[in-house]
Amino acid sequence: MLLVIVIPMDARPSREEFHYVVETLGSIHPEIISKNEERRAKFALRAKQSRPDEPLDDIKSDSTIAEETPITDAIVSTMLSQNTTDANQHKAFATLKKEFPSWNQVANESDSSRIEDAIRVAGLAKTRADRLQNMLQTIQNERHVANFEYLRYFGSPEEIQRELSRFKGMGPKTISCVLLFALGIPD
């Protein structure tokens, strides 16, 4: 069976069209659906374990924050996945987290070449490092901590899209991935 759906380049699919395509592709590639469900479950478990309402004074260290940032992890991971392989993205993310256990450390790093070195395997290291650090510094300056866990309290996907789209490197596709995989919200 050949499925052809024609969507004009300037149009976005409706929710019904989105779900139809996902269900159809899922029936053809069930292993992809299983893999995505596992990822969502991991993000959901990490989100459930996080304490986004806890006052900053009660948080003991940057390492505590690092363990409880599933949305920030998803944003950084998705940004690192752009124009590279899954293997290289995973290596870059793992190295970045090893070198900088908390996102505050990335935001506060005075030598951006250390960030570049950590993510070099993903390619475009200078551009990615600058964008990641600028994004995390902005959030840290605005919210006193470099993480995006506050997004879970936004009222709509459109609010989250507006918030994330203000950062370089966060285009519609990246934002859609974050909405779907970190927050379980189909765009």
- What residues are labeled active site? 173
- What is the residue type of 163? E
Tokens matching residue 140: 């840290």
CA–CA gap between residue 78 and residue 99 (Å, rounded): 19
What sign does the CA torsion over 104, 54, 160, 95 have? positive
Count of all residues that appear for the chain in the document: 187
In angstroms, how far is CA 25 from the centroid of its own chain? 23
Neighbours of 26 (CB within 10 A): 15
